[in-house]
């Protein structure tokens, strides 16, 4: 495990068993001003994430032994850091599985390192869904979305959402009577400059629905031909 110190507080963990690639990515991220740590196995990645508390993890799914999917699943039991997964081109199922495991964004190999740096910058630019202490929680029948505490409760039970899931829910609850398209949600939660498969929104919405309730449409409706909106107010 090689540690590359940088001048800024934002910490990035790069996980890839291809050491030259990991080193190159780390070099570009360092030049962009990030503090970078590299790891080359799933176990190293989890150990580094525990020890360092990174803001972003760049995670290759094709790791030997403990693969990136399992790393992501275990990571999500204790960390809300952003996760950008790397997948082989054409491996659609792997990409969707990575997002379902809790990743926030993805790139397919081969990729431009500059694009990867731009993706890291984009997730760190995301506006946090926090407000001042006078803002009441959003309530939709038995769903409570507390932007101040960054907490969600459904039927009086706490629901553990990832950052991206929470931000999507906050975007929907901010406009409860408006149907938002995938592109509108990407502009709010990811970045207006984000380019990729817009179905990334569907995967995160699906994950969130399963966590909120067994009935997928109880809180979030699919508006055919448009996108999504809150089902109750």
Mind giving me the DSSP string for 48-76? HHHHH--SEEEEES--SSS-HHHHHHHHT
- Structural domains of the chain in order of their starting residue, each with its CATH number: 2-125 (3.40.50.2300), 138-230 (1.10.10.10)
Q: What would the pLDDT profile of 26-61 be if each residue is shown by its tens digit?
A: 999 999 999 999 999 999 999 999 999 999 999 999
Q: How many Å apart are CA 212 and CA 7, to the nearest integer?
A: 40
Note the pLDDT of residue 3: 53
Burial 191-228 (b: 16+ CB within 10 A, else e): beebeeeeebbbbbbebbbeebbeeeebbbbbeeeebb
CB atoms within 10 A of CB 115: 11
Note the pLDDT of residue 131: 42
pLDDT averaged over consecutive 10-residue blocks of the chain (233 residues)? 57 95 95 95 94 95 91 90 85 81 88 91 71 59 84 89 90 89 93 84 91 84 92 64
pTM comes to 0.75
């Amino acid at each position: 495990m090689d540690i590359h110190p940088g001048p800024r507080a934002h910490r990035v963990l790069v996980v890839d068993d291809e050491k030259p690639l990991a080193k190159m990515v780390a070099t570009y991220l360092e030049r962009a001003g990030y503090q970078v740590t590299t790891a080359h196995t799933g176990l190293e990645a989890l150990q580094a994430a525990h020890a360092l508390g990174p803001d972003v993890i760049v995670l290759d799914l094709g790791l030997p032994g403990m693969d990136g999917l399992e790393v992501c699943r275990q990571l999500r039991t204790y960390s809300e850091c952003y996760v950008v997964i790397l997948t082989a081109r054409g491996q659609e199922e792997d990409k969707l599985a990575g997002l379902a495991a809790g990743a926030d964004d993805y790139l397919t190999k081969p990729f431009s390192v500059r694009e990867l740096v731009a993706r890291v910058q984009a997730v760190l630019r995301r506006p946090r869904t926090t407000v001042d202490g006078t803002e009441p929680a959003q309530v939709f029948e038995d769903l409570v979305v507390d932007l101040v505490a960054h907490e969600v409760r459904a039927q009086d039970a706490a629901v553990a959402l990832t950052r991206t899931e929470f931000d999507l829910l906050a975007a929907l609850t901010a406009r409860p009577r408006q149907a938002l398209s995938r592109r509108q949600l990407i502009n709010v939660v990811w970045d207006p400059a984000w380019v990729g498969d817009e179905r990334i929104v569907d995967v995160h919405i699906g994950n969130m629905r399963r966590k909120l309730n067994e009935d997928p449409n109880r809180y979030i409706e699919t508006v055919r031909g448009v996108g999504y909106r809150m089902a109750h107010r």
